[in-house]
């Protein structure tokens, strides 16, 4: 029985210990590559796993020596006093350090402390206390060959009583297991539970040995080795599962819907040019922007213009028309928004005329390379904009005091003839063409969205990337404390507003601006810029806020989504990448 138990122990040490060690290494590598990995488990759980990985390495090393050097293994790791003390010291420190970190993690879970909050004092106490235990054991010459064939505390020494800390910590750990917390703590609680269970056979055998010097059970020792190695493997598989399946880049709440113009780029390019000419015609035949007291009628008013088509302006949509009807929606309201940002009619007019003469207009628009952006929208989106315009204007101008990060719409237009029509909005672009920056459109989904793709000449235009690209390239933003606090308040207010009007499918526009000291920012867009206080500046905006939950449900069958779910997803994404504690 003794030999069989010995064989079971050495093979479980080697096989399961090695697998657990490799899974631990994979977990640590994943964490280093993707900051989103911090979301399900947190930095404390990471350090618990590091301790567990190191202990598993020792067990794998111990088992390998028994298998491949069965005659001399004791001389190498047990008989050699210096080696045994070194191994024992590290094992004791790592085991008690992981226990102390488990206690801190439990406190975080019970108190519902945000994942990004740093328990600096607690962490220092963990290190000092664990190191003190290991040093006490070392200097009292208590590390020798233990009854389980490892280097550990001699069972007849008082220092072995440190094992009783496990029993002292267990009620707090159990409280954390049972605490009613948000789903974001699920992985942390599962890892904590499994990790604590790893230690149960170890603690039982060593406690038994303290009170019974004659205790010796090869069966229990073998059960301990199997149980510890297996459970250790599970501890690593949980966060790895969350990494690949349930991290913050989750499955999309909505299926990605391709642009209606995707397969007809020439037509889209033509309609963009036509929209520009029509808006120029409207501006040339309208009064200058003036400050007005807005009444209900201003929010539903329409101005209609007949825009003549030249022969080369006719498209397959308007092929039978000599003119098209251009309708300007709520012009006085959008003029008010422009004036609040010190945008004059002449500035827009001059910029649109420059855009009209620009080559590759569609590409420049898609890559945010012009001062104003023209976006095609659907009839449902236009209806949603018109229906919520009063509330939007109130939020932008009054409630947020013009500090909202929602991208400003400065014009909404319809273009139609007898049978056909299309719709556009004109938006502010918060970044200048000469800015050297990386652009991202993020919504917290691991779906590889079709954002703007570079043409053949990669030096011509900027590339707009998605969530997956961001997690690989940047991972998080290093904001100053002042900007972090300001961003936290503004975003919370904006999301409350978007929930109140039933908006979904919006995204976070992020520009990471290089050459901080050479960056020129237009003063009206300073509300969108945040920095780390040193070399990097970030432009942040909420875009695509004109999709209603009702329109999505009507257009995309078999899909259901709540504004709360979408807002929470967005909030989780922003909290993770900006490290805002209160989001």
CATH of the domain at 382: 3.30.800.10
Sheet holding 464-465, edge to edge: 464-465, 437-442, 507-513, 537-543, 529-531
Does residue 271 sit in the same domain as residue 240?
A: no
Lowest mean pLDDT, pick from 29-33, 59-63, 141-145, 261-265: 261-265
Does residue 109 sit in the same domain as residue 220?
A: yes
Q: CA angle, 297 as apex, 291 and 299 as ends, to 5°? A: 70
In a domain, 61, yes or no: yes
- pLDDT band for position 148 (cuts 50, 70, 90): low
Lowest mean pLDDT, pick from 60-74, 248-262, 287-301, 481-495: 248-262
In a domain, 260, yes or no: no
Does residue 313 sit in the same domain as residue 172?
A: no
Q: How many residues does the chain have?
A: 583
**462-491: b or e for each residue (b if 16 or more CB lie within 10 Å)?**
bebbbbebbbeebbebebeeebbeebbebb
Does residue 178 sit in the same domain as residue 112?
A: yes
The CATH number of the domain holding residue 67 is: 1.20.1070.10
Mean pLDDT of the chain: 75
pLDDT recorded at residue 546: 85
Question: Among the three residues 190, 210, 244, which one is the final residue of a domain in this structure?
Answer: 244
Q: What is the mean pLDDT of residues 476-500?
A: 85
Range of the domain at 427: 265-578
Residue 437, both tokens = 């920056």
In a domain, 411, yes or no: yes
pLDDT recorded at residue 110: 81
Residue 519, both tokens = 């960056």
Domains in the chain: how many in total?
A: 2
Q: CB neighbours (10 Å) of residue 454?
A: 14
In a domain, 257, yes or no: no
E runs forming strands in 201-314: 302-308
Beta bridge partners of 129: none
Q: CB neighbours (10 Å) of residue 82?
A: 7
- pLDDT band for position 329 (cuts 50, 70, 90): very high
pLDDT tens profile 256-276: 444 444 445 567 777 888 889
- H or E element in which residue 86 lies: helix 81-111
Q: Is 111 exposed, middle or buried (0-12, 13-18, 19+ CB in 10 A)?
A: exposed
What's the CA gap between 283 and 301, in Å, rounded?
16
What's the CA gap between 439 and 431, in Å, rounded?
10
pLDDT recorded at residue 432: 75
What's the CA gap between 92 and 557, in Å, rounded?
59
Residue 229, both tokens = 């190695």
Q: How far is CA 235 from the centre of its chain?
A: 23
User: 494 vs 97, 217, 392, 524, CA distance in Å?
Assistant: 43, 64, 10, 18
In a domain, 568, yes or no: yes
In a domain, 251, yes or no: no
User: 10 vs 17, 52, 64, 105, 223, CA distance in Å?
Assistant: 10, 18, 8, 32, 12
Does residue 202 sit in the same domain as residue 270?
A: no
Q: What is the mean pLDDT of residues 276-290?
A: 91
What's the CA gap between 440 and 430, in Å, rounded?
14
Q: What is the mean pLDDT of residues 399-425?
A: 87
342 φ, ψ (degrees, to nearest 5) = 60, 40
Does residue 229 sit in the same domain as residue 276?
A: no
Does residue 301 sit in the same domain as residue 412?
A: yes
In a domain, 252, yes or no: no
Cα of first residue to Cα of last residue in the chain, in angstroms, is 59
Identify whether the C-beta of residue 86 lies closer than 8 Å to the C-beta of residue 152: no
Lowest mean pLDDT, pick from 129-143, 250-264, 347-361: 250-264
Does residue 279 sit in the same domain as residue 209?
A: no
Unique residue bearing structure tokens 């201003």: 298
Question: Among the three residues 193, 214, 244, which one is the final residue of a domain in this structure?
Answer: 244
- pLDDT band for position 224 (cuts 50, 70, 90): low
Does residue 279 sit in the same domain as residue 221?
A: no
In a domain, 432, yes or no: yes
Residues 6+ away with beta carbon under 8 Å from 528: 405, 430, 539, 540, 541
Q: CB neighbours (10 Å) of residue 267?
A: 14
Does residue 106 sit in the same domain as residue 151?
A: yes
Does residue 24 sit in the same domain as residue 172?
A: yes
Does residue 39 sit in the same domain as residue 83?
A: yes
């Amino acid at each position: 029985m003794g030999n069989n138990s010995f064989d079971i122990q050495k093979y479980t040490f080697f096989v399961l210990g090695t697998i657990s060690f490799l899974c631990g290494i994979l977990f640590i590598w994943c964490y280093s590559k993707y900051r989103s990995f911090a979301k399900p488990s947190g930095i404390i759980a990471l350090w618990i796993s590091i301790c567990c990985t190191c202990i598993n390495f020792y067990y794998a090393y111990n088992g390998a020596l028994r298998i491949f050097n069965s005659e001399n293994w004791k001389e190498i790791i047990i008989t050699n006093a210096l080696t045994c003390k070194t191994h024992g010291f590290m094992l004791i420190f790592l085991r008690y350090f992981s226990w102390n970190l488990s206690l801190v993690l439990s406190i975080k879970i019970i108190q519902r402390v945000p994942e990004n909050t740093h328990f600096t004092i607690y962490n220092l106490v963990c290190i000092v206390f664990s190191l003190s235990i290991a040093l006490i054991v070392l200097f009292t010459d208590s590390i020798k060959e233990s009854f389980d064939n490892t280097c550990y505390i001699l069972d007849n020494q008082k220092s072995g009583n440190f094992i009783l800390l496990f029993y002292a910590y267990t009620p707090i750990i159990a409280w954390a297991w049972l605490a009613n917390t948000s789903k974001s703590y699920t992985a942390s609680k599962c890892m904590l539970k499994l990790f604590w269970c790893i230690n149960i056979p170890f603690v039982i055998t060593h406690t038994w040995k303290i009170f019974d010097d004659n205790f010796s059970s090869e069966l229990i020792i073998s059960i301990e080795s199997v149980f510890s190695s297996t459970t250790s493997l599970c501890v690593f598989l949980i966060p790895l599962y969350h990494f690949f399946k349930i991290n913050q880049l989750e499955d999309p709440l909505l299926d990605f819907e391709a642009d209606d113009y995707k397969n007809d780029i020439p037509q889209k390019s033509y309609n963009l040019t036509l929209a520009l000419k029509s808006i120029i015609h409207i501006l040339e035949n309208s009064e200058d922007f003036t400050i007005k007291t807005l009444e209900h009628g201003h929010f539903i008013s329409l101005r209609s213009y007949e825009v003549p088509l030249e022969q080369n302006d006719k498209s397959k949509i308007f092929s039978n028309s000599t003119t098209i009807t251009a309708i300007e929606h709520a012009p006085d309201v959008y003029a008010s928004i422009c004036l609040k940002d010190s945008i004059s009619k002449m500035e827009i007019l001059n910029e649109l005329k420059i855009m009209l003469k620009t080559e590759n207009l569609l590409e420049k628009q898609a890559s945010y390379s012009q001062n104003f952006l023209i976006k095609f929208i659907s009839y449902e989106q236009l209806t949603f904009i018109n229906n919520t315009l009063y509330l939007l204007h109130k939020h932008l101008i009054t409630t947020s005091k013009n500090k909202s990060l929602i991208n400003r719409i400065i014009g909404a237009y319809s273009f139609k003839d007898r049978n056909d029509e299309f719709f556009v909005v004109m938006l502010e672009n918060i970044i200048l063409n000469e800015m050297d920056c990386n652009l991202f459109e993020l919504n917290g989904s691991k779906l590889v969205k079709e954002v703007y793709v570079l043409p053949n000449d990669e030096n011509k235009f900027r590339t707009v990337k998605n969530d997956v690209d961001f997690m690989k390239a940047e991972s998080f933003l290093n904001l100053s404390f002042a900007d972090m606090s300001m961003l936290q308040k503004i975003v919370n207010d904006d999301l409350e507003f978007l929930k109140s009007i039933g908006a979904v499918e919006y995204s976070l526009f992020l520009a990471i601006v290089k050459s901080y000291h050479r960056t020129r920012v237009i003063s009206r867009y300073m509300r969108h810029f945040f920095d780390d206080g040193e070399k990097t500046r970030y432009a942040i905006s909420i875009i695509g806020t004109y999709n209603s939950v009702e329109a999505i449900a009507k257009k995309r069958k078999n899909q259901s989504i709540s504004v709360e779910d979408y807002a929470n997803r967005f909030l989780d994404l922003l909290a993770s990448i900006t490290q805002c504690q209160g989001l």
